[in-house]
Amino acid sequence: MIESYSFGSIVINGKKYSSDVIVFPDKVKSNWRRKIGHLLLEEDIQDILEFKPDVFVIGTGASGLMKVDDKINDKLKSLAIEFIIKRTSEAVAEYNRIYKDKKVVCALHLTC
């Protein structure tokens, strides 16, 4: 469960992170970086695609400045992975609402 989020900081299962994260059901990948800072490309989420979640929640930052390449939408649709793209605070709320019922992965940009 994600306990709290504020600009640049997130608490997951009692541990505080201050860099972008990917939350898998059994682990947190911290210090997540994208090849092109504020653009999410397919190559940035290969480990998520290999994991094949039921739902992939993407947090685009406090102001929503991180963009998602259209090719990712097409790829996720082709793999029948439901995806939700929202500002990070809304993405956190969505993740917390569904994570117990589905196999969910959440990738969160914590700033911008």
What's the predicted TM-score (pTM) here? 0.96
**What average pLDDT is seen over the chain?**
97
> How high is the pLDDT of residue 69?
97
How far apart, in Å, are the Cα atoms of 97 and each of 3, 47, 92, 106? 12, 23, 9, 12
CA distances, 67 to each of 2, 25, 37, 87 (Å): 22, 24, 10, 10
Residue 100, pLDDT score:
93
The number of distinct structural domains making up the chain is 1
Measured CA to CA, the distance from residue 10 to residue 3 in angstroms comes to 8
Give tens-digit pLDDT for 22-51.
999 999 999 999 999 899 999 999 999 999
The CA distance from 38 to 65, in Å, is: 7
Residue 59's pLDDT is what?
98
| Residue ranges making up the domain that contains 65 | 2-108
- Report the CATH number that the domain containing residue 39 is assigned in CATH: 3.40.1230.10
Give residue 15's pLDDT.
98
